[in-house]
A and B are shown apart, each in its own frame.
Chain A
Amino acid sequence: MKKRIISILLSAAMCIGLLAGCGSGGDNSGNSSDASDHTNTAAETGSEESSEKPAEDGAASGKKTLTIAIPQNANVEDYDTNYLTAMIEEECDVELQFQLLPTAISDAKSKLSLMASSGEKLPDVVCMSLTDLEVLEYGLNGVFIPMNDYLYDAEATPYFNSMDDKEAILQAITSADGNIYTLADYSPEDFNLTPYRCWINKAWLEKLNLSVPTTTDELKEVCKAFATQDPNGNGVNDEIAITGSVPTATWGCFTPYYLMNSFIFYNGDQANNGLALAEDGKTVIAPFATEEWKAGLEYMNELNTEGLLDPSMFTMDATQFTALLDQSPNIVGCVCVGGWGYWTNGLDSENFQEFELMAPLKGPEGVSYSATFEYSPNLYYNITKDCEDVELAMKVGDFFYRKDVSLTTRYGEEGVDWSKDEAETSKKVGLYEDALGIPCELAILEDQWSKVQNKHWYHACPNDLSVDDYRSMDSLQEGDDNRNAVLRSTSFDLYYDAHPELLPTLVYTGEEAEQIADIAADIKTYVSSSLAEFVTGNRPLSDWDNYLTELENMRLSQLLEMAQTAYDRMSDQ
């Protein structure tokens, strides 16, 4: 009986639900058919009809519409009412409409490729970070249209053409087929180019009466003392001499890359698939297939056998890493970390206060480099084949390169969030004032980063913020607390120039790029997993020759050959 009542209730609920569904469905379908009719006319009718429609719309608001597809950033309140959006709309006399893509970049990319391959009418502009290969592919397929004529025409794109960094950007955005399908976000910040920074526990050094190590051998001695003499004084032998975290999950925390640079220059796989230039400045070499690399592995393997190097650095993710750094009392002696954000509370973290930045160590052969790479701009802003008013899309694209707009894309509203006014800047200390004597030219009044805000699109658009802009930035110093500036300039002093001639970011032709993608993926995985195996001793170093043979089987020489061709082509130009 009870069961029957329940079943009746359930079926009743279901029927009511159905009716409710129909009811709201009626309303909704009304709306949605309106909406889809609208997009539909735009999508499927020929140019005559659809040019009528915007004209009608335009009559109402007096503006033309531009649709932009952009991956939604959860920390941007509302793209429609955003300050940057309003600024563009007003000054470019345009109405921006947004089509939001998923936040996860891989999802956004699959959605874009789906939209392109389904033959749907694409938004006028795609504003997301794509790789050069992806841009080239869409360009060759005709999904993105070339912008060459506009960019080479100083009247069509005045801001782009008056930029100091124009050449650097042009080089990055020109695809292998000679066309330009994209604009770029150009914001080189030298702090980001040498992320593999190593920190040593100064408090422990002082306690054990040791000096900061300068060579690999000295580091070993210091680490032995760390591991055995209980520097944190809790009576337990819990000190970890050297630790780190995996390069795929964290930024600049993989200590082996730092240590390896005391044996041979390696860019930490941050560009050109880890390849580098030989000393002659002409030959492209693979650092990970050299005798010096082997020597580096041997050194790290010794550290590991003596229990100084924490093997969990090959598996630890960001969360575990932070938990380790935050232990109280501190148990870490020496660690590679890109930025202090990995300590909870960052600069104010108690544990962080114990650390000091350590210069690149000198290896047995006198090598002491830092894992540096050449900055390469991020590609943003493509105009699609369905864009009816390319000139307008170009105008908006160019607008981002106006200096104050570029600053807005990163810092927010002029005069409210940042100012170049001397009255404000004179009150502030520049980020590199101590290191390079560059005074502050950009005062930050209200920090619009790392919070939910409605001033900019979180930098996810074209812009031009040169090295000079960055260096003359406000150090955000409050009172006497200038640690941010000091740490950055120390890092600059110790790491920025510590490298041989860099291999520029190689530009491949479409054909080369496709082949390389396959080869490089295999090789990179193999090199990093072998590194872990050799260092932890899971694989004896006597197996080195097999490692080289295996690399050869993965077509390393072909990779080098293509890189050499690309490099020669670039240096001829």
Chain B
Amino acid sequence: MKKNRKKTGSSDLLFYSITGVIITAFFLIVLYPVIFVIAASFSSGDAVTAGKVFLWPVEFSLDGYKTVFNNTQVLTGFQNSCLYMLVGTTINVVLTMCAAYALTRVELPGINKIMFLFTFTMFFSGGIIPNYILVRNLHMMNTMWAMVLPGAINAYNLIIARTFIQSNIPRELREAAEMDGCGDIKFFLKIVLPLSGAVIAVLVLFYGVANWNSYFNAMLYLNDKEKYSLPIVLKQILISSQIDPSTVTDPELQMQIARIANVIKYALIVVAMLPIALIYPFIQKYFVKGVMIGSIKG
């Protein structure tokens, strides 16, 4: 490390400092909204609407959180979202890993065609109405399965996983294992999976975040308040703080409703982003490694 430092010339130093400044600027731009939301969530509703909150909580108050946790809908939504994320991500990762491994085996007949079909879905899809009809005819409407099964494999993630396996698990390893009488399934379970920790972490994060934030599917397929996921509940509450004069019966009364929403808006956002924020640090180191390996050697 020290040796490296010495070699850094002045032009490099300039380059690094400029990059540093730019990255810090970007970092602050991304960081500020998060800090603001957290500060606002601990401030009183009046201070927030009056625009007094900048960096630190003003007129410290926990009212927002109290209201959020007393709201049964938020709790149901939270539980549902956890369930959908857990089940959904498990299905996603299992299917993606299986497909990715199969697609690294060149002796698989028609491998190119299969791969083409997968990539095809990255650019084209049937559209909302056919999807909706499909889900309905599979009797998945208004069930958890409508949340976790459609889009179980994401072609982009599949390619990352496949490239990772291709570049990290040499063909020779499989041949050697085969010599010792190891079958395909055993090889996948005992050798491929344990060696793919990094990419699995990446998949878990990608899929997990997507499942956690999934709003559109929930909006389309769920009709029952007991089954609503958190983003739906979140949107419901946030939407009531906005007034669109053209669609509202009674704007003046609507304005009064809006005031309630302002109090809990930020607390709700914090609650909604907390789980992901908590998981992220544990996965992050694999995350960078996994994506990098996939991209460089692919």
Contacts and interface: CB of A to CB of B under 8 A. Distances in A.
Contacts of A120: 132-133, 136
A28 B132 contact: no
Interface stretch (A139-147, A293-301, A337-345): A337-345
B72 to A, nearest CB: 9
Contact of B141 (A39, A252, A320): A39
A319 B141 CA distance: 38
B257 A25 contact: no
Contacts of A6: 197
Interface string A316-330: 001110110010000
A150 interface: no
A195 B257 contact: no
A251 B254 CA distance: 10
A482 interface: no
Contacts of B91: 21
6 contacts: A7-B197, A11-B194, A14-B200, A29-B145, A35-B142, A459-B249
Interface stretch (A50-58, A102-110, A169-177, A230-238): A102-110
B247 A192 contact: no
Interface in B210-262: 219-220, 223-225, 232-233, 235-237, 239-240, 242-245, 247, 249-261
B50 A104 contact: no
A220 B47 CA distance: 34
Interface in A1-60: 3-4, 6-8, 10-11, 14, 17-18, 20-21, 24-25, 28-29, 32-33, 35-37, 39-40
Interface string A222-265: 00000000000000000000000001111110000000000000
B202 to A, nearest CB: 11
B43 to A, nearest CB: 13
B194 to A, nearest CB: 5
A225 B91 CA distance: 70
B52 to A, nearest CB: 8
A74 B240 contact: yes
Given A14-B93, A250-B243, A322 B225 contact: no
Given A18-B94, A118-B133, A322-B50, A74 B249 contact: no
A14 B94 contact: yes
A326 B200 contact: no
B46 interface: yes
Interface string B189-214: 00001111110110010000000000
B143 interface: yes
Interface string B134-168: 00100111111100000000000000000000000
Interface stretch (A87-95, A183-191, A438-446, A530-538): A183-191
A72 B233 CA distance: 10
A267 interface: no
Given A75-B257, A129-B247, A341-B259, A103 B51 contact: no
Contacts of A18: 90, 94
Contact of B220 (A39, A74, A114): A114
B31 interface: no
B87 interface: yes
Contacts of B87: 17, 21, 24-25
B12 to A, nearest CB: 32
B237 A74 contact: yes
Contacts of B19: none
B94 A40 contact: no
A436 interface: no
Interface residues of A, number: 74
B223 A450 contact: no
A459 B250 contact: yes
A119 interface: yes
B129 A73 contact: no
B1 interface: no
A4 B232 CA distance: 39
Given A17-B90, A36-B143, A339 B252 contact: yes
A7 B194 contact: yes
B133 A119 contact: yes
A526 interface: no
Interface of B: 46, 49-51, 71, 73, 83, 86-87, 89-91, 93-94, 128-129, 132-133, 136, 139-145, 193-198, 200-201, 204, 219-220, 223-225, 232-233, 235-237, 239-240, 242-245, 247, 249-261
Contacts of B204: 10
A449 interface: yes
B260 A20 contact: no
A11 B73 CA distance: 33
A483 to B, nearest CB: 15
A326 B50 contact: yes
B243 A187 contact: no
Contacts of B223: 99-101
Contacts of A104: 235, 239
Given A103-B240, A111-B220, A342 B255 contact: yes
A39 B223 CA distance: 12
Contacts of B46: 344-345
A378 B86 contact: no
Contacts of A573: none
A525 interface: no
Contacts of B245: 195, 247-248, 250-252
Residue of A28, A119, A251, A338 with most chain B CB atoms under a 10 A cut-off: A251
Given A105-B247, A114-B128, A339-B252, A32 B136 contact: no
A318 B90 contact: no
Contacts of A36: 139-143
B240 to A, nearest CB: 5
A450 B129 contact: no
A7 B198 CA distance: 8
Interface string A454-475: 0000011000000000000000
CB-CB nearest 4 A-B residue pairs:
A7-B197, A323-B51, A450-B256, A32-B143
Contacts of B73: 74
Given A17-B89, A18-B90, A450-B260, 7 more contacts: A7-B193, A11-B197, A37-B139, A118-B136, A326-B51, A341-B256, A341-B259
A553 interface: no
A338 B247 CA distance: 16
A119 B136 CA distance: 10
B49 A344 contact: yes
